[in-house]
Amino acid sequence: MRQRVILHSDINNFYASVECLHRPEIRELPVVVGGDEEARHGIVLAKNQIAKAAGIKTGETLWQARRKCPGLVTLPPNYPLYLRYARYAREIYGDYTDRVEPFGLDEAWLDVSGEDGERIADEIRARIRRELGVTASVGVSYNKIFAKLGSDIKKPDATTVISEENYKAVAWPLPVEDLLYVGRATGEKLRRIGISTIGELARMPESVLRSRLGKMGSVLHAFANGLDTSPVMRMGEEAMIKSVGNSTTTPRDLMCDEDVKIIIFVLSESVCARMREHGFLARTVVISVRDNELASFERQTKLPRPSCISGEIAAAAMQLFRQHYKWPKPIRSLGVRCTDLVPAGAPMQLSLFGDEERRQKQEALDRAVDEVRRRFGHFAIQRASVMADGPLGGINPKGDHIIHPVGFFR
């Protein structure tokens, strides 16, 4: 049986590196790519090495970054450009294996089992540097979790090997937060029971972790001990879509039900357009609400029958909101997500009391709107109710959404 060899390639400071590549005049300056401050999305999405040396961190606000580095260059994200470079990188990976599994735009796992992983990692780094003009760090291991950890250990432009022989020496002394899926909240829970390193997590009895973290405790225990056996997907394979959703931080705080209704219709239209694009109907609608003090919650409801009709999804979302939010504080962000998806052509029981002809007309109308927007732009056609408030109705979540990493768990 061939020895398992997994690589994880992470293009260093991806967005900022691509921007500096295309703008020679800023290459020697501290640069960050950040969201739209006027739309209240003003956080650091990526930074170059010079900005990193100044103490700037991904996720902090742009005003905080400017305080640390007064000469900071801030740029808006250019996702079409980043997508192009992501495709170039995957073409390079495809020369070595057909098992390439993306993890966001700038990261990917490669299964090169039976080959010399360190040699291939060094060759990939050299090609990315030579052919794309940016750098990458590559982790080499016998599983996906340690391969990703390896790509994080040394940056920029480095290869790190974590093997079955050295993982205790290399991985176990690292902070527990360095392990995939140990975020800030989970890290705090683990530190409260005396776990601050990956090694301490690995040595803690699984029963203790499960009692504190539920099923995730068992997962993280396996990760820390190098017991991940999840496969790398073949290039072109798609994980089943489990949900379609959009959320937005609103241009101003929402103060009443009418404000919320505008945003829910905007989000529902985007979500339903994307479901129609992929050929799905939803059986469940989920809303997420965050107030202006950052307290948040989610609620969900089952639909009477699967739907991709924006009016039906918006009505269900609005009913959920009215049932569960009594306006203790203004609202900063809202999300609408459709889950429990079924193929649009799947057979289903029709209601004896529903107006099927009316529903078919509504869906046909939605599809006509999709076509108008595809040809002439999103704002070529809008609901009158959405146009009642220019700033709130002027959001295009389908076109403006940030690209998030694909989840590890499929």
Q: Is the pLDDT of residue 405 over 60?
A: no
pLDDT given at position 189: 93
* Same domain membership, residue 112 and residue 4: yes
Q: Indicate if 177 and 127 belong to the same structural domain.
A: no
Mean pLDDT across 252-272? 94
pTM as predicted: 0.69
- Convert the pLDDT of each residue in 24-64 to its tens digit: 999 999 999 987 766 666 789 899 999 999 999 988 889 99
Confidence of residue 238 (pLDDT cuts 50, 70, 90): very low
Q: Using the predicted structure, report yes or no on whether residue 239 has a pLDDT greater than 50.
A: no
Total domain count for the chain? 3
Who's near 93: CB < 8 A, 6+ residues apart? 9, 100, 108, 110, 124, 235
* Cβ within 8 Å of residue 50, ≥6 positions away: 28, 29, 30, 31
The confidence score (pLDDT) of residue 384 equals 87
Residue 191 lies inside a defined structural domain of this protein: yes
Kindly state whether residue 406 falls inside one of the protein's structural domains.
Answer: no
- Edge-to-edge strands of the sheet including 243-254? 243-254, 331-343, 280-291, 296-307
CB 274 within 8 A of CB 312: no
Q: Are residues 269 and 352 in the same domain?
A: yes
Q: What would the pLDDT profile of 188-203 be if each residue is shown by its tens digit?
A: 999 999 999 999 999 9
- 109 and 214 in a single domain? The answer is no
The CA distance from 11 to 104, in Å, is: 11
- Write the CATH number for 94: 3.30.70.270
Domain boundary among 237, 269, 285: 237
Question: Could you tell me which of 138, 172, 127 has the C-alpha nearest to residue 6?
Answer: 138
pLDDT of 145 higher than 90? yes
Q: Are residues 332 and 279 in the same domain?
A: yes
Do both 146 and 230 map to the same domain?
A: no
Write down which residue in 209, 237, 265 finishes a domain: 237
Report residue 233's pLDDT band, with 50, 70 and 90 as the boundaries. Answer: confident
What is the band of 242 on the pLDDT scale with cuts at 50, 70, 90?
confident
399: pLDDT strictly greater than 70: no
Q: What are the strands, taking DSSP E only, across 198-330?
A: 243-254, 280-291, 296-307
Closest CA to 224 of 261, 265, 170: 170
Q: Largest Cα–Cα distance in the chain?
A: 69
Of 101, 129, 162, the last residue of a domain is 162
Instruction: Quickly count: other Cβ atoms within 10 Å of residue 116's Cβ.
Output: 12
Of residues 75 and 350, more confidently modeled: 75
The pLDDT of residue 338 is: 93
Mean of pLDDT values over 104-115: 93
Residue 167 lies in a domain: no
Residue 332's closest CA among 261, 246, 245, 251?
251
CATH number of the domain where residue 330 is located: 3.30.1490.100
| pLDDT score, position 404 | 44
Whether residue 40 lies inside any domain: the answer is yes
Q: Please tell me the distance from the alpha carbon of residue 383 to that of residue 80, in angstroms, as a whole number.
A: 28
- With a pLDDT cut of 70, the percent of the chain lying above it is 91
Q: Are residues 281 and 381 in the same domain?
A: yes
Q: Which residue numbers are catalytic? A: 107
Which among 155, 179, 181 has a CA at the least distance from the CA of 167?
179
When pLDDT is averaged across residues 3-21 and rounded to a whole number, the result is 96
Task: Give me the domain span that covers residue 145.
Answer: 1-162
Residues 124 and 89 in one domain: yes
Question: What's the rounded Cα separation, in Å, for the pair 193 and 189?
Answer: 7
How far apart are the C-alpha atoms of 372 and 31, rounded to whole Å?
38
Residue 11 and residue 83 in one domain: yes
Q: Please check whether residues 133 and 4 belong to one and the same domain.
A: yes
Q: Is the same domain home to 218 and 126?
A: no
Is residue 306 in a domain? yes
b/e burial code for range 87-102 (CB count within 10 A of at least 16 → b): eebbebbeebbebbbb
Question: What percentage of the chain exceeds 90 in pLDDT?
Answer: 67
Lowest mean pLDDT among 156-165, 259-268, 287-296, 307-316: 287-296
Residue 194 falls inside a structural domain = yes
Half-sphere exposure of 151 (CA within 13 A, CB side): 30
Say yes or no: 256 and 396 in one domain.
yes
Instruction: Give dist(CA 264, CA 262) in Å, integer.
Output: 6
- Rounded distance, CA 222 to CA 146, Å? 11
Average pLDDT score over the chain: 89
Q: 407 in a domain, yes or no?
A: no
In a domain, 405, yes or no: no
